């Protein structure tokens, strides 16, 4: 339909469709996790619409290769899991240590102990990586981030993260099912800062590896560890769940921000098509990575 759009225009079209779908989800009858889960499918639905209807890029291999699904980026999987674990673990560790909330760890139900609990956690991360996290990341870091590459790595990473955060605003502001606690005037800017800072890490791995899989794994790990630590936290008030250690908390924002300050400057805008730094058209590759040796 529109075969000659620039990459930036394609990114804007993708975002317009994604946001419209996110807004439409808020009018769907549902409760609990139904609407948030439906909303997570909006980015992949938008990618399919753009690729197959708007630009028709999806009728060639090159059109799909830009998503980064054909590379696994195994070298970045450790960072994808350990990054969220360290940031969220430290954040909740602060509130537990200061007595703002209690710490009550418990392994998975069923009496299997910690070994069985760990196995279930790994299975959960894999399951979310391959489903809802991937559905989002195919859109944000798979499609949108490479389309913004002409802005430069820093701007592209920040803008992708911010747009990802704004995508959640219809669900957050128009329904009672997403981050219902806390003052909206405080939660909204904190949430946007949190998604943007976390997005810097996921975006770095996407650009560094040429693959969307590490970003999807990090997204899944973040969601699962956040849910895990929340389940181990007792007597928590909105101060803890929303303002300090939760998904929109100041502590994870600082943690991901510090990690981004260390990682993002390592990105090099020069393309280097080597075996150790796979390249996807339109992306940027790292000058070096601590795990690449």
Rounded to the nearest 5 degrees, what angle is found at the Cα of 211, between the Cα atoms of 206 and 217? 75
* Domain layout of the chain by residue ranges: 7-286
**Which SS3 state, helix, strand or coil, does residue 233 take?**
strand
Residue 216: HSE in the Cβ half-sphere, 13 Å Cα cutoff? 30
For residues 28, 31, 37, 38, the Cα torsion angle rounded to the nearest 10 degrees is: -10
Tokens of 156: 């592209």
CA distance 132 to 219: 9
Q: What's residue 285's pLDDT?
A: 40
Q: What is the C-alpha separation between 109 and 116, in angstroms, rounded?
A: 10
pLDDT for the residue numbered 182: 84
pLDDT per residue of the chain (293 residues) written in tens, 0 to 9: 677 899 999 999 999 999 999 999 999 988 778 899 999 999 999 999 999 999 999 999 988 999 999 999 999 999 999 999 999 999 999 999 999 999 998 765 455 678 888 889 999 999 999 999 999 999 999 999 999 999 999 999 999 999 999 999 999 999 998 888 888 999 999 999 999 999 999 999 999 999 999 999 999 999 999 999 999 999 878 888 889 998 889 999 999 999 999 999 988 654 333 323 334 434 444 333 333 32
Q: What is the pLDDT of residue 270?
A: 42
**In angstroms, rounded to a whole number, what is the distance separating the alpha carbons of residues 134 and 122?**
16
Classify 82 as helix, strand or coil.
helix
The per-residue pLDDT for 108 is: 57
Is the four-CA dihedral 167, 169, 172, 173 of positive or negative sign?
negative
pLDDT of residue 206: 97
Tell me, what's the pLDDT at 48?
Answer: 97
Q: Give every CB contact of residue 228 below 8 A, 6+ residues apart in sequence.
A: 121
pLDDT confidence of residue 1: 66
Pairing of strands 267-268, 233-234: unpaired
pLDDT of 275 reads: 29
DSSP secondary structure letters along 10-59 = HHHHHHHHHHHHHHHHTTS---TTHHHHHHHTHHHHHHHHIIIIIS-GGG
Residue 79 vs residues 70, 83, 126, 208, 212: alpha-carbon distances, Å: 20, 5, 15, 12, 14
The pLDDT score that the predictor gives to residue 107 is: 67
**Residue 177 has what pLDDT?**
87
The Cα 274–Cα 66 span in angstroms is: 17
- Count of residues in the chain: 293
């Amino acid at each position: 339909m529109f075969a000659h759009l620039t990459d930036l225009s394609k990114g804007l079209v993708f975002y317009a469709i994604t946001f419209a779908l996110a807004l439409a989800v808020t009018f769907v009858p549902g409760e609990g996790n139904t609407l948030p889960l439906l909303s997570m499918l909006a980015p992949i639905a938008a990618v399919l619409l753009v690729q197959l209807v708007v630009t028709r890029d999806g009728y060639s291999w090159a059109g799909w290769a830009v998503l980064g699904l054909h590379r696994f980026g195994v070298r970045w999987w450790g960072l994808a899991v350990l990054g969220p674990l360290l940031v969220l673990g430290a954040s909740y560790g602060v509130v537990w240590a200061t007595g703002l909330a209690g710490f009550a760890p418990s392994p998975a139900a069923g009496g299997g102990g910690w070994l069985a609990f760990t196995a279930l956690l790994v299975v959960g991360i894999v399951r979310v990586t391959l489903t809802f996290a991937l559905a989002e990341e195919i859109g944000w870091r798979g499609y949108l981030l490479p389309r913004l590459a002409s802005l430069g790595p820093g701007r592209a990473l920040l803008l992708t993260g911010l747009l990802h955060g704004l995508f959640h605003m219809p669900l957050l502001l128009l329904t009672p099912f997403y981050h219902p606690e806390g003052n909206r005037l405080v939660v909204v800017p904190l949430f946007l800062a949190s998604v943007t800072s976390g997005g810097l890490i996921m975006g770095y791995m996407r650009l560094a590896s040429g693959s969307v899989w590490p970003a999807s794994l990090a997204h899944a790990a973040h969601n699962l560890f956040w849910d895990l630590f929340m389940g181990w936290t007792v007597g928590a008030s909105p101060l803890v769940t929303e303002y300090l250690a939760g998904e929109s908390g100041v502590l994870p924002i600082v943690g991901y921000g510090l990690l981004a300050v260390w990682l993002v400057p390592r990105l090099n805008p020069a393309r280097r098509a080597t075996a150790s730094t796979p390249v996807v058209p339109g992306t940027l590759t790292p000058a070096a990575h601590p795990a690449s040796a």
